[in-house]
């Protein structure tokens, strides 16, 4: 689930109280954004999406837009191509642009970087290649986008995070790029204070959540002979299948994620 709002980093400034993000103090302690590290890695990272707030060295897009008129901020949240344009223009001042594939404006941003960017600087988080939509105009749009997507990815993407090791070779072949551009990085639950222990709980159960490539029949077949509580969170297009598989109420609850997996 993506955050729907943001908090300013300067406290109460100009009408209305604002809270600072946890990463802001760490960003200040880490020095001035713009200097390069001793090992030569770029440190000027403009980011959009969830990780822009939790990784201290990232500069969130909201740090740029937080003083803009409220109506403009609302347009950026609704209009994908406009958000992409702002990211593209702002990225000229940064070494890397980190975004989540599939977030609002992704397709427009990828195309802009491929056509107008002088070098590769897109770092794509959660690189998931969703299948084309089943029918209607969405299906035609997705099929037309396929060859553009492959071409633009080759030209614009510097690195991409995949969610399993086998996806590195699969996506490298599908998009015609070097497998080294795809990096397997586990989910962000690993990001915690040094030495902090993971939370523990005496409760038991399984949460199965996903929006694409989910093998729900196998999940329910495996769960049928097990006693643990099961909570399922599925995409809206999988809801009918999940409800059918759960006719015996094996899952204690089935929820639907309404976040679109396709972005303009």
pLDDT in tens, 158-198: 999 998 888 999 999 999 999 999 999 876 455 555 555 55
Query: Whose CA is closest to 105, among 132, 125, 129, 84?
Result: 84
**Sequence-separated (6 or more) residues with CB below 8 Å from residue 18:** 7, 8, 10, 11, 12
pLDDT for 54: 79
Backbone angles phi, psi at 183, to 5 degrees: -120, 130
- Based on the number of CB atoms within 10 Å of its own CB, is 57 exposed (0-12), middle (13-18) or buried (19 or more)? middle
What is the C-alpha separation between 113 and 92, in angstroms, rounded? 10
Can you give the pLDDT at residue 85?
96
Q: What is the pLDDT of residue 155?
A: 96
Query: Given this model, what pLDDT does residue 237 score?
Result: 83
For the stretch 50-68, pLDDT in tens is 888 878 888 999 999 999 9
Mark out the alpha helices in 41-97 (DSSP H runs): 51-54, 61-65, 70-78, 80-90
pLDDT of residue 22: 40
Q: What pTM, to 2 d.p., does this model score?
A: 0.65
Residues in the chain with pLDDT values less than 70? 1-43, 187-203, 257-264
Instruction: Please write the tens of the pLDDT for every residue from 81-90.
Output: 999 999 999 9
Other beta carbons within 10 angstroms of residue 145's beta carbon come to 16
What's the whole-number average pLDDT of the chain?
A: 78
pLDDT at residue 258, as a whole number: 59
Dist. CA 231–CA 107, nearest whole Å = 32
Tell me what pLDDT residue 199 has: 54
Cβ 185 vs Cβ 161: under 8 Å: yes
Q: Give the pLDDT score at 8.
A: 36
Q: Which pLDDT value is given to residue 257?
A: 65
């Amino acid at each position: 689930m993506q955050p729907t709002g943001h908090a300013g980093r300067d406290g109460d400034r100009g009408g209305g109280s604002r809270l600072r993000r946890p990463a802001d103090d760490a960003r200040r302690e880490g020095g001035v954004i713009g200097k390069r590290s001793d090992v030569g890695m770029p440190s000027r990272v403009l980011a959009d999406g969830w990780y822009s707030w939790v990784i201290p060295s990232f500069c969130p897009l909201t740090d740029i837009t937080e003083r803009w008129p409220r109506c403009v901020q609302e347009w950026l949240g609704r209009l994908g191509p406009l958000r992409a344009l702002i990211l593209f223009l702002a990225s000229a001042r940064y070494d890397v642009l980190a975004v989540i594939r599939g977030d609002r404006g992704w397709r427009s941003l990828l195309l802009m970087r491929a056509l107008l960017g002088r070098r590769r600087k897109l770092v794509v988080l959660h690189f998931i290649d969703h299948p084309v939509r089943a029918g209607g105009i969405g299906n035609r749009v997705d099929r037309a986008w396929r060859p553009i997507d492959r071409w633009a990815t080759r030209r614009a993407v510097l690195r991409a995070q995949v969610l399993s090791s086998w996806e590195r070779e699969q996506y490298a072949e599908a998009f015609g790029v070097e497998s080294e551009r795809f990096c397997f990085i586990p989910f962000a639950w690993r990001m915690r204070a040094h030495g902090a222990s993971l939370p523990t709980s005496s409760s038991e159960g399984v949460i199965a959540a996903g929006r694409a490539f989910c093998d729900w029949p196998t999940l329910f077949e495996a769960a049928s002979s097990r006693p643990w509580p099961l909570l399922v969170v599925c995409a809206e297009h999988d809801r009918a299948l999940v409800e059918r598989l759960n006719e015996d109420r094996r899952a204690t609850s089935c929820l639907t994620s309404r976040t679109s997996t396709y972005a303009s």
